[in-house]
Amino acid sequence: MVSLLPIRGRVMENKLVRGKWIVAGSGNGRKIIKNGAVLIEDGTIRAIGNYEKISKEYRYDYELGSEYSAVIPGLVNSHNHGRGLSAFQGGVSDAPLELWLPDLFNSYETDIYWDTLLAAFNMISKGTTTVLCHWCERDPADPMYREDLEKSISAFLKSGLRVAIAPVIHDQNKYTYSDESKILSKLPGYMKEEIVSNVEDSSRIKKYFHTITEMKNKYCQNEKLTFQYGPNGVQWCSDDLLVQIRDKMTQNKMRVHLHLLETKYQREYSKQHFGVSTISHLEDIGFLGENTSLAHCVWLSTNDIEIISQTGVTCIHNPSSNLRLYSGIAPILALLEKDVKVALGTDSTALNDDDDIIQEMRLCWLLHRLPNIRTRGITSSEILDMATTHGATAAGFGDLIGGIEVGKKADMVLLETRRAIVPYLSLRIPPLDFLLQRITHDDVKTVIVDGHVVYENGLHRDCDPANIVAELRKSVKESPSKKADAVTRLKQLLKEHYENEELEEYQIKYKYNQLT
Ligand SMILES: [Zn+2]
């Protein structure tokens, strides 16, 4: 039986959203309105205030929420790869990034439409209303590139999510950061053939830019969908490619999103290749600005943070992924100290392998409590800014969404608070602290995007999760054993390579406590 949300919410009626708490505004202007209401008209927030007052003053077609609801802005997952079937489920066990990627590139295939739709459904059902998808399901060399990108786009549109898609591109060092040909030359020829593409980079890159322009033009009427450039990372892209992207960004008024300094080996790459840090190099080639967002940012230096702060870049914190892939812990307190905009993303590698942005917020809240009574932690309000306002900026929707404010688009999530309050909640606990500490994705009751109810009480407006799961399962194909053997051999070679490169200065950078 197909389970869909009833007809309510399909047309653009005026709605009144009621809540025990309305989490309105953002940053220093954030306030909690008790026994509040939000009036949504034509998908836009028209009024916010006391429930009795707003319900008398305005006309509306129906009411959502109750005196037990907490109404928060829609959450933004600012770095995700749109994978419904996680890498782990596809056979890629957690490992240090450099040994994880070769498996990821060669492990399994799915039907992109169902894969994206499941990812989108998972995110919506856990309170995400906007995603910045660093799309890497296909390489431009793949004959199905354009078709599969469109499949992902149509799945996102079907899901109702607001989405920014930044298709990934690289033109060097697919498997390592230096001496790639030297390492690959140690593979027997038949193994190399299994995992190395023979398509010329210039034609791949031409196709990449052409496809993005084509998609941008095709979907330019859709306010909920935007495109960004998505270079994979500095070590994977030549300067020539980065400069081309920089010029296209200016020319086409577009944003750019990339991985940055996820591991210590990437930091070392810049030192060896540019003689300066990755951030200094990006600044030198004019790549940093308010239209740039950088995922991970684990291995920044103090000077890098200064440059990031001055250039207005948004950093995206991916705590789960950084833990799972042995990357380290990003210096988020130091970034906040310099007023850097920090957003949050699951990187399709969340703690429970389920793209749960609420849990990512909690992990971020807890992770940066240093063992020192002089150092402050991150406040619950800052965490909410990361998952809303700054995420909206990273995704390129900063003018439209990011907070429950009059004039903004109505993207919001209604959380049912009763389960988390039982048996009692002291009035001494601030509401935002309570939400961050005790709410889980099971408490997500209603999700509204652009004024439309897309999810309520476990049902989606247009998608049946059981059907998505069945279709996706049918489409999964694991890689043939010849390819898997080649990857295993390559990983052995890479492990030896990195073990030889291991630098003493990085080994002593971080410890859980003062072991002596
Ligand atoms: Zn990523």
**Whether the predicted pLDDT of 387 surpasses 60:** yes
Q: 379 CB contacts (<8 Å, ≥6 apart)?
A: none
Distance 114 CA to ligand 1 centre (A): 20
Instruction: Report d(CA 453, CA 39) in Å as an integer.
Output: 14
Cα distance between residue 486 and residue 452, in whole Å:
48
Query: In this predicted model, what pLDDT tens digit does every residue of 298-339 receive, in sequence order?
Result: 999 999 999 999 999 999 999 999 999 999 999 999 999 999
In the prediction, which pLDDT does 202 show? 82
* pTM, to two decimals: 0.95
Rounded to an integer, what distance in angstroms lies between the CA atom of residue 434 and that of residue 41?
Answer: 30
pLDDT given at position 155: 98
462 close to 158: Cβ distance less than 8 angstroms: yes
Whether 17 shows a pLDDT value over 90: the answer reads yes
* 322 CA from centroid of ligand 1 (Å): 10
Q: What are phi and psi of 62, to 5 degrees?
A: -160, 170
CA of 2 to the centre of ligand 1 (A): 33
Residue 1 — pLDDT band, cuts 50, 70, 90? very low
- For the cut 80, the answer to whether the pLDDT of residue 382 exceeds it is yes
475: confidence class by pLDDT, cuts 50, 70, 90: very high
Asked if 138 and 168 touch (Cβ cutoff 8 Å), the reply is: no
Tokens describing residue 476: 């999964």
Average pLDDT over residues 446-471: 96
Whether the pLDDT of residue 476 is over 60: the answer is yes
Identify the CA nearest to 54 among candidates 37, 41, 42: 37
Please give the share of the chain, as a percent, with pLDDT higher than 70.
94
Nearest by Cα to 168 from 225, 100, 245: 245
The pLDDT assigned to 63 comes to 96
Question: SS3 for 241?
Answer: helix
pLDDT score, position 512 = 56
**Mean pLDDT over residues 436-464, rounded?**
96
- What does the pLDDT average to over 130-136? 97
Measured between alpha carbons, how far is 413 from 75 in angstroms, rounded to an integer?
8
- Say how many Å lie between the CA of residue 126 and the centre of ligand 1: 20
In angstroms, what is the span from residue 15 Cα to ligand 1's centroid?
Answer: 37
Hunting for tokens 């043939």 — which residue is that?
480
Residue 192: pLDDT band with limits 50, 70, 90: confident
Rounded Cα distance, 360 and 225, in Å = 24
Compute the distance from residue 318 Cα to the ligand 1 centre, in Å.
9
pLDDT score, position 509: 52
- For 59, phi then psi, to 5°, come to -95, 140
pLDDT band at 10 (very low <50, low <70, confident <90, very high): low
Average pLDDT over residues 507-511: 53
Mean pLDDT value of segment 32-43: 97
CA distance 489 to 191: 9
The string of DSSP codes covering 467-478 is HHHHHHHHH-EE
Query: What is the 3-class SS of 32-58, one letter each residue?
Result: EEEEEEEEEECCEEEEEEEHHHHHHHC
- CA 456 to ligand 1 centroid distance, Å: 29
Q: How far, in Å, is the centroid of ligand 1 from the Cα of 105? A: 13
The most confident of 261-275, 410-424, 481-495, by mean pLDDT: 410-424
Alpha-carbon distance of 432 to 421, in angstroms, equals 13
Q: What's the 397 CA to ligand 1 centre distance in angstroms? A: 20
With a cut of 70, say whether residue 507 has pLDDT above it: no
pLDDT at 198 over 70: no
- Overall average pLDDT of the 473-492 stretch: 89
**Alpha carbon of 258 to ligand 1 centroid (Å):** 8
What's the 354 CA to ligand 1 centre distance in angstroms? 15
Query: What three-state secondary structure class fits 313?
Result: coil
Average pLDDT, the chain: 93
Residue 510: predicted pLDDT:
52
Residue 111: its pLDDT value, please?
96
**pLDDT(62) > 50:** yes
- Compute the radius of gyration of the chain from its Cα atoms: 23
* Ligand 1 centroid distance, CA of 168 (Å): 10
For residues 268 and 278, what is the distance between their CA atoms, to the nearest angstrom? 9
Nearest to 254 by CA among 315, 155, 164, 170: 164
**Contact criterion met (CB below 8 Å) for 466 and 4:** no
DSSP 288: -
| Least confident interval from 7-11, 421-425, 440-444 | 7-11
What is the 80 CA–ligand 1 centroid distance (Å)? 6
Distance 436 CA to ligand 1 centre (A): 24
Phi and psi torsions of 437, nearest 5°:
-85, -35
**Most confident residue range from 366-370, 444-448, 495-499:** 444-448
Ligand 1 geometric centre to CA of 496 (Å): 25
Tokens read off for 378: 């991150």
Residue 483 predicted with pLDDT over 90: no
Task: Please give the average per-residue pLDDT across 501-512, as a whole number.
Answer: 58
User: Residue with structure tokens 């496809």?
Assistant: 211
Q: What is the pLDDT of residues 224-274, one digit of tens each?
A: 999 999 999 999 999 999 999 999 999 999 999 999 999 999 999 999 999
